[in-house]
Amino acid sequence: MKRPGWTVGSWALALLLTLPVMALLYEALLPAEDLFRHLWSTVLPAYINNTFWLVLLVMVFSLLCGVPAAWLMAMCELPGKRWLQWALILPLAMPSYIVAFVYTDLLDFSGPVQATLRQWFGWQSAADYYFPPIRTLGGAALMLGLVLYPYVYLLARTAFLEQSTSLIQSSRLLGCTPWQSFRRVSLPLARPSIAVGLSLVAMETLADFGTVNFFAVNTLTTAVYDTWLGYGSLNAAAKIAAMMLLVVMLLLSFERISRKRQQVFQKGMGHEQETGYQLSGVSKWGALVFCWGLVLVGFLLPFVILCYHAIHYFEQAWNARFFEYSMNSLVLSTLVAGLALLIALLLGMTHRLTGKTYTVLPMRLASMGYALPGTVLAIGVLVPLTSLDFAINDLALWLGMSEPGLLLTGTMTAIAFGYLVRFGAMAVGAVESSIGKVSPSLDMVTQTMGYGPGAMMMKVHMPLIRKGMLAGALLVFIECMKELPAALLLRPFNFQTLATYVYQFVSDEQLEVGALPAIVIVLVGLIPLIFLNRSLEQHH
């Protein structure tokens, strides 16, 4: 069925959403300014080195935490396992910069931990004892690892659950201990899934701004931020952002290769019957301490401390600014979620109506932005919108009118467009998946009744895919509420979201006053984890 209007519309929207990436690459390929050459000859090599070691350390930490926890939850019987396997996902809801502040406050020289140690042992100053500094590259890696290991845990746990029970039983009959069975059978089969989880961890680490900036660890992300806001050089910022984009492309390639290998490894394997190692004694208590320890340090302790501060500083936090910035976040997130859903419906229905393979391409193009770190995306958005703002002002002068000012980069337009490019993929994926489950025979019946594509979408498809639509819009909404790096670079003057408001308190080392809005962000972040846990329970 030919639908030229729908096809043209879907291609136009897809190209609009890829505009930031194209603009970023164009700007990056322009001749280098003196500032970039100066940065390249002085500080950039150190920034690249820091970025490499940070990503590597976070991946190692996530591997050491996520894989053992996943195997224990998938293959062993433990008291409270039903609650524990869900609780291990909770750190994903905790922004890393909040965790970083909480532990800095706890472990610094003036914090309660060191103060208690000095009191117990009679130490007078830092010269009397050694306590590892937390505001270092290693400390930043630890903070990021605490909140990112669930990516590896989730994918590894799913891979372990999908492995053939007969293989595990065979390894037992051959006399393998649980450790030997894990090392020789389970781990090699789960390796592709673990690789995918590690690539997600690496991309999140590369995209992080809050933690590394708070710990004064200079990475490529902070370099983009400082180059644009500190020096005002879009050209130099675009070149550094393009370097980050190259790293992301390499990580995505690595992930794709891992996924292809995964299909081969897992073929024909199903979880025929439940089987679990019965741990007892030291093994049982060691496993429980390890898993609950991860939940405690990654989520429970920071959350309890936030609640404590929120109660004690409630009067200072419960003010007009809190409501204003909450409303800013609410309006912005709702607007972007609605637009993302409309775009997803148009793209999904165009593919459905035409039935052509090439109509998948607009959906893939529209989803490109999700892989971009927030700072990279922000520079990609600023390049075309800044040029357009200048062009509008020049045109106004040429027509003898007064300059309208920054219509795009000085308003909510830039931040809304940036969020749409970055998170639209979630709505596209949810709608595409839901539409794919609707029987094609319904389309034929509707067409024979004389309904056009618009009426078909409204009367047939939307009622059937409303759960998928809601899930997609909700995910976009939540990610917009939490996003920090893009918000810092794209927000207009005197405009704050909840994320930038909380980060402002973190930067000023006053999170106690910002604990209430921080709790709102954490609670909002818990919503998709509840959905995720329910879907995992339904599958297993």
pLDDT digits (tens, 9 = 90+) for 202-218: 888 988 888 998 898 99
pLDDT-based confidence at residue 181 (cuts at 50, 70, 90): low
- Alpha helices (H) in 453-510, listed in sequence order: 453-456, 462-464, 466-482, 485-490, 498-507
Whole-number Å distance between alpha carbons of 247 and 221: 12
Whole-number Å distance between alpha carbons of 445 and 173: 57
User: What is residue 437's three-state secondary structure?
Assistant: coil
CB-CB contact of 206 with 55 (8 Å) = yes
CB-CB contact of 98 with 302 (8 Å) = yes
In this predicted structure, the answer to whether residue 475 has a pLDDT above a threshold of 50 is yes
In this predicted structure, the answer to whether residue 528 has a pLDDT above a threshold of 80 is no
In this predicted structure, the answer to whether residue 120 has a pLDDT above a threshold of 80 is yes
Percentage above 70 pLDDT, the chain? 81
- Alpha helices (H) in 163-300, listed in sequence order: 165-173, 178-181, 187-207, 210-214, 220-229, 234-265, 281-295
Q: Which of 65-79, 167-181, 227-241, 369-383 has the lowest mean pLDDT?
A: 167-181
Whole-number Å distance between alpha carbons of 6 and 354: 9
Which sign does the torsion angle of CA 401, 405, 407, 411 carry? negative
In this predicted structure, the answer to whether residue 155 has a pLDDT above a threshold of 70 is yes
In this predicted structure, the answer to whether residue 91 has a pLDDT above a threshold of 60 is yes
pLDDT-based confidence at residue 272 (cuts at 50, 70, 90): very low
Q: Look-up: residue for tokens 């660890």?
A: 217
Strand partners, 442: none
Q: Mean pLDDT of all residues in the chain?
A: 80
Angular region, 450: left φ>0, alpha ψ -120 to 50, beta rest: left
Check residue 128 and give its pLDDT: 77
Over range 387-412, report the average pLDDT.
Answer: 80
Report phi then psi at 250, rounded to 5: -65, -40
pLDDT-based confidence at residue 307 (cuts at 50, 70, 90): very high
Q: Look-up: residue for tokens 């009397």?
A: 128
Whole-number Å distance between alpha carbons of 376 and 369: 10
Q: What element of type H or E holds 278?
A: strand 277-278
Q: Look-up: residue for tokens 């809005």?
A: 517
**The domain 307-539 is classified under which CATH number: 3.40.30.120, 1.10.3720.10, 2.40.10.120, 1.10.1740.110?**
1.10.3720.10
Check residue 54 and give its pLDDT: 95
Over range 243-253, report the average pLDDT.
Answer: 82
Amino acid at 345: L
Amino acid at 288: L
Check residue 225 and give its pLDDT: 85
Round the CA-based radius of gyration of the chain to a whole number and report it: 25
Over range 488-505, report the average pLDDT.
Answer: 87
In this predicted structure, the answer to whether residue 294 has a pLDDT above a threshold of 90 is yes
Whole-number Å distance between alpha carbons of 318 and 325: 12
- Alpha helices (H) in 30-80, listed in sequence order: 34-41, 44-75
Over range 164-192, report the average pLDDT.
Answer: 64
In this predicted structure, the answer to whether residue 284 has a pLDDT above a threshold of 90 is no
Check residue 299 and give its pLDDT: 93
- DSSP sequence for 121-166: HT--SGGGS----SSSHHHHHHHHHHHHHHHHHHHHHHHHHHS-HH
Whole-number Å distance between alpha carbons of 304 and 139: 21
Whole-number Å distance between alpha carbons of 121 and 348: 66
Residue 304's CB is within 10 A of a number of other CB atoms, namely: 12
Over range 251-270, report the average pLDDT.
Answer: 58
DSSP annotation of 90: G
In this predicted structure, the answer to whether residue 144 has a pLDDT above a threshold of 90 is yes
* Surface-to-core class of residue 126, CB atoms within 10 Å of its CB (0-12 exposed, 13-18 middle, 19+ buried): exposed
Check residue 364 and give its pLDDT: 77
CB-CB contact of 236 with 126 (8 Å) = no
Half-sphere exposure of 139 (CA within 13 A, CB side): 22
Q: Which of 85-99, 178-192, 313-327, 349-363 has the lowest mean pLDDT?
A: 178-192
Check residue 448 and give its pLDDT: 64
